[in-house]
């Protein structure tokens, strides 16, 4: 027996259990295209996915690559530890919005601050999917989830602004309705040295169907956007604050700069040592 699906060397035999119409399918397609490039250059075994828990996280069961299906909110520290052990791996994190912006928000801020060399894709459906439809940090105010049947009382967070404020060096937004654009974004993110963050708009067909809303308002960021200008990025991020109204929802790269990575700044080459010499020197 082996782990592969019948006709697809990138897929496992695990049956897909996303709802029909789920935005995760588009994301899966995009990620697969990126993995395919790795496969073509014989580097697929050097890629690794880390996921949280939630609908989004099932993606690692579907893909025949190295993966760590971790726990809710902890994609980033697990991925970080993996990089400590083996900085040559290309690590892509898959988190939900509950995952990355709720339970695990602290790690997002620190991954950005440290410029850890990995990519985080947040499958942002603005709802807790797998736990059947509660409001998340990016749900619009008034969202009638199961924990807030008369409407969420909170304004949403804007994760783009948060990532910018935390020092991320690659900040982008994608949309599963634009798979090709998303594929390119992911590819750029993976190539970027340092922490690459993509908030991926991923409608939840069952609990928060936002397709037509996004289709109406999503606009690609023009290529003359000043990618290295933090204030410009912040301004662009303010165009849409994750509410249920929009005039324009920019997708694409908001910000991209070079900064030394955590791995470059903090890690040393590990090696063995002579215990008894060490004791003679420091303990006698």
Residues 247-266 that bind another protein (CB under 8 A): 266
Angle between helices 230-237 and 159-166 (to 10 degrees): 160
Residue 52 in the binding site for ligand SF4 (CB under 6 A): no
Residue with smaller CB distance to another protein, 86 or 243: 86
Name residue, tokens 């083996």.
Answer: 86
85: nearest Cα among 51, 108, 112, 118? 118
Site for another protein in 135-154 (CB under 8 A): 135, 137, 145-150
Q: Which of 11, 32, 34, 67 touches another protein by CB under 8 A?
A: 67
Residue with smaller CB distance to ligand SF4, 199 or 263: 199
Residues 6+ apart with CB under 8 A from 26: 176, 177, 179, 182, 202
Q: Which helix (H) or strand (E) holds 235?
A: helix 230-237
- Phi and psi torsions of 157, nearest 5°: -80, 155
Site for another protein in 188-247 (CB under 8 A): 206-207
Site for a copy of itself in 147-186 (CB under 8 A): 153-158, 161-162, 164-167
User: Residue 96 binds which one of Mg ion, ligand SF4, a copy of itself, none, with CB within 5 to 8 A depending on kind?
Assistant: Mg ion
Q: Stretches 58-66, 196-204, 214-222, 226-234: which one binds a copy of itself (CB under 8 A)? A: 226-234
Q: Which x/- pattern over 122-141 shows residues binding Mg ion (rule: CB under 5 A)?
A: ---x---x------------
- The string of DSSP letters for 28-94 reads HHHHHHHHHHHHHTT-GGGEEEEE-SSTGGGHHHHB-SEEEE--TT-HHHHHHHHHHH-TTSEEEEE
Q: Which helix (H) or strand (E) holds 163?
A: helix 159-166
User: Residue 131 binds which one of Mg ion, ligand SF4, ligand TPP, none, with CB within 5 to 8 A depending on kind?
Assistant: ligand TPP
Residue with smaller CB distance to ligand TPP, 64 or 204: 204
Provide the binding-site residues for ligand SF4, judged by CB under 6 A: 18-19, 22, 24, 55, 125, 129, 204-207
């Amino acid at each position: 027996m082996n782990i592969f699906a019948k006709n697809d060397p990138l897929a496992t035999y695990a049956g897909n259990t996303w709802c029909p119409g789920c935005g995760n399918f588009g994301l899966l397609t995009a990620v697969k295209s990126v993995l395919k490039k790795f496969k073509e250059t014989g580097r697929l075994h050097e890629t690794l996915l880390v996921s949280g828990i939630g609908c989004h996280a099932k993606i690692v069961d579907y893909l025949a690559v190295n993966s760590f299906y971790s726990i809710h909110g902890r994609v980033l520290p697990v991925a970080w530890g993996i990089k400590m052990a083996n900085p040559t791996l290309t690590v892509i994190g898959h988190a939900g919005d509950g995952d990355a912006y709720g339970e695990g928000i602290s790690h997002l801020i620190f991954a950005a601050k440290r410029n850890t060399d990995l990519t985080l894709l947040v499958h942002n459906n603005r709802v807790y999917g797998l736990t059947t439809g509660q409001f998340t940090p990016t749900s619009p105010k008034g969202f009638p989830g199961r924990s807030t049947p008369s409407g969420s009382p909170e304004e949403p967070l804007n994760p783009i602004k948060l990532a910018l404020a935390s020092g991320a060096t690659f900040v982008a937004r994608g949309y599963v309705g634009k798979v090709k654009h998303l594929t390119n974004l992911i590819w750029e993110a993976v190539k970027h040295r340092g922490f690459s963050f993509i908030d991926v708009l991923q409608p939840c067909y069952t609990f928060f169907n936002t397709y037509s809303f996004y289709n109406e308002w999503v606009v690609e960021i023009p290529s003359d956007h000043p990618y290295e200008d933090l204030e410009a990025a912040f301004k662009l991020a303010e165009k849409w604050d994750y509410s249920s109204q929009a005039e324009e929802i920019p997708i694409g790269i908001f910000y991209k700069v070079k900064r030394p990575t955590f791995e470059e700044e903090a890690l040393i080459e590990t090696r063995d040592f002579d215990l008894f010499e060490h004791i003679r020197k420091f303990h006698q």
